[in-house]
Amino acid sequence: MSRMLYLEDSYLRECDAVVISVKDDKYVVLDQTVFYAKGGGQPYDTGCMVRGGDVFNVVFVGKFGGEVSHEVDRVGLRVGDRVRCVLDWDRRYKLMRSHTAAHLFASMLCVGTGALVTGNQLEVDKVRFDFNLEKFDPQVLEKYVSKSNALFRTDTPVKWYELPREEALKIPGVVKMAEAFPPEIPRLRIVEIVGLDKQADGGTHVKNLKEVGQIELLKTENKGKNNRRIYFTLK
């Protein structure tokens, strides 16, 4: 199984790796990678693999059978090749800021209103949230955006670590998504915004709330009984 370096250090922008397998000339598995594989509401990373003078652009990264598979834009990589992986850091760093922002905002909203998040998708330019809430008032949502923004001005560390499953599931609110319960694995990765929120999560985050900046509500939609959707973006 290839080592997912981004789970340990989300600030790694590059790494050396060895090609373990190549399928259909374009789906590449490496012994280790900095490329985040699409999942958990966070988009895949882009960037490139460099072998000598050859550059292979990474156009999609997914997880198949537990392995991280990188789709490259040209043929030529072979098993045993040594490559340098380089992330499109601007895109990834924005997604890290958005992801941490999403956790904090969800926490504020869930604690404050009792709403359950039913869907959450990060995009490069915005974050989408679906949640169930009987009473829908855009002004109330603005209040939680302001509360979140106040916290994004504070020096609050964000940490990630693994816990045994049993222990992790005892943490109140550790699973905020109404349906996305963590898979049957013995250890869960926890992302903790110190003093504010703990969530089971496999995504990449910034290490301090200050790095998020500020967020802005873009749109609120009433999708029917108990079904609300909002979009926010990083300012």
> Shortest distance, CB of residue 42 to Zn ion, whole angstroms?
7
Cα torsion 60, 63, 64, 69: sign? positive
Quickly list DSSP for 92-132: HHHHHHHHHHHHHHHHHHHHHH--EEEEEEE-SS-EEEEEE
Q: In the set 158, 201, 206, 212, which binds Zn ion (CB under 5 A)?
A: 201
Query: What DSSP state is assigned to residue 221?
Result: E
CB of 123 to Zn ion, least distance (A): 14
Bridge partners (DSSP) listed for residue 198? 192
| Distance separating alpha carbons of residues 172 and 170, to the nearest angstrom | 6
Helical H segments across 68-207, by residue range: 89-113, 138-151, 165-168
Q: Does 130 bind Zn ion (CB under 5 A)?
A: no
Stretch that binds Zn ion, among 7-15, 26-34, 157-165, 197-205 (CB under 5 A): 197-205
157-196 mask for Zn ion (x: CB under 5 A)? ----------------------------------------
Amino acid, res. 57: N
CB of 104: closest distance to Zn ion in angstroms?
11
Q: Among the candidate windows 45-53, 57-65, 141-149, 199-207, which touches Zn ion by CB under 5 A?
A: 199-207
* Nearest distance in Å: CB 175, Zn ion: 11
- Residue numbers 202-231 binding Zn ion by CB under 5 A: 203
Could you give the maximum distance between any two Cα atoms of the chain, in Å? 59
Residue of minimal Cβ distance to Zn ion: 201
Please, what is the minimum distance in Å from the beta carbon of residue 177 to Zn ion? 9
**Residue window 12-51: x/- pattern of binding to Zn ion, with contact defined by CB under 5 A:** ----------------------------------------
- Smallest gap, in angstroms, from Cβ of residue 98 to Zn ion? 10
Q: Which of 201, 231, 212, 232 is nearest to 40 (CA)?
A: 201
Distance CA 161, CA 189 (A): 6
Q: Under the rule (CB under 5 A), what is the footprint of Zn ion?
A: 201, 203
